[in-house]
Amino acid sequence: MTEATLGGSLQYEFSRFVPSSIWEKWRKTFNYVLAKKIDWLSLRKSCKQWIKNPLSMALLLWIICVSVSGALLFLVMTGIMNKILTKQSQRDSWYEVNNQFLNALFTLMCLYQHPKRLHHLVLLCRWKQKDVIILRKTYCKNGSCKPNEWIHMMVVVVLLHVNCFAQYALCGLNWGFNRSDRPVVGVGICISIAIAAAALAGLHCIFSPLGKEYDTDKESQNHIPISTKFALRNEHSLVEYTPQWRGGLFDIWDNLSVACLTLFCSFCLFGRNMERLHFGNMYVHITTFLLFCIAPFFIFNMATINIDNEPVRIVLGFMGILLCVFGLLYGGYWRIQTRERFNLPANKICCGKPAVTDCMQWLFCCWCSLAQEVRTAEFYDIVDDKIVCKKQTASGVQAALNSLPPEDKAPPVTSMSTSSFWRSDSLNKIWSEDYSSLSEIELSREGMQNVMEAPIPLSIQIDDKDSKRT
């Protein structure tokens, strides 16, 4: 029997037990997947772009650690490593170490995400216009309005909270009981609830109206309202397209109050600065940054309570301290976002990569980096996610006029009076984007072309005949 004949007979036997409509649907789907070509070049570019994100790199490292530890735990539980770990005490030790390590990793992940989930719960309970837009961007496909969106968002947020609390309960069981006394039923229930809640939340986001597209009127979609305080104060301010950091990294003497706050109240000042730059809620940033820098030390040290192996306990304790130090990279990540959004100068001193330099600055000199960011945010105003110069006062306008070229180089203004000059947008035109790229010579040439010249007097010609008559 040939291979084609064998395949045809198997297909016939399988199709006898499956309805024709379902079988035809499966066959078309299978053929479509096989016939569709994979664009490996675009896939490689997408992977490179994804891995360049610091959060993606941290997530990938977390997945690798969970996969390795989970695989070892599975091998020990199934008895595959019995030939290597011949003694029962060794197998028990390996089981407990991997179990506690996995428990610490999942607990840290829940702790890092819980402040944002609590904030979303508050936004759902408050349900104002700005809150709705923030929640739509997080849970709705394309950030658009969905039918009964409040109910569906509340279901997702509640399920995510159930996932966190189930993980905390599991963490308590792992820390509070030895392996022999630990209730198996309680552990199984906590693990099942934690996994099921997270899976149901993801499936609800995909298959509920939150993950579907609807034809909606663009005018009905609300935009994120910008702070009216910023908008009114900067009504006549100018957008700064090439902003600069205020002072160098070590110029802490430029603002001593900021330097003192940076040293003694780093987390609060960081959160306040993030909210000023429109990067999210201040309290969420404060709590998350605090957890990044403190939680790993306590989590990994608590994980060593039921581990009898002293070298393993030392390694886990050192790992907790190391993760606390690397928690400073949370500030480096937001420094990258600040620099890219507002087009601030990049420093390529580390391997020619500005992102690496930003992370290294926060890792080795977090207080100096934070002080520089706060000085920059205080010097400018933020309107529509753009950096603008603060509103010019009378002294600021006078300083701007003093910076203009002298009269012999500047084009004279003869077509309007002084009062109309102040009332018009002439100052904005002088410092607009089009003129900012011109040199002084080009400005003077353009000004000479626009100068109003006195009219030439009309010449009166007298004919010879008229002159003779006179």
Every domain of the chain and the residues it spans: 55-213, 228-388
CA distance 92 to 394: 77
Q: What is the pLDDT of residue 444?
A: 43
What pLDDT, on the 0 to 100 scale, is given for residue 55?
84
CA 224 from chain centre, in angstroms, equals: 17
Q: Which residues share a beta bridge with 239?
A: 388
For the chain, how long is the longest CA-to-CA vector? 141
pLDDT for the residue 390:
65
> What pLDDT is stored for residue 29 in this prediction?
60
Q: What is the dihedral of CA 415, 420, 425, 430, to 10 degrees?
A: 50
What pTM value is reported for the model? 0.71
Two tokens, residue 257: 């109050």
In this predicted structure, what is the pLDDT of residue 288?
Answer: 95
pLDDT for the residue 362? 93
Mean pLDDT by 10 residues, the chain (470 residues): 47 47 58 60 82 85 93 90 86 91 94 95 93 92 90 95 96 91 92 95 92 66 42 53 84 86 92 91 95 95 89 92 93 92 87 88 92 90 73 43 42 36 34 37 42 47 46
Residue 335 and residue 369 in contact, taking contact as beta carbons nearer than 8 Å: yes
Task: Report the C-alpha gap between 393 and 269 in whole angstroms.
Answer: 28
The confidence score (pLDDT) of residue 322 equals 94
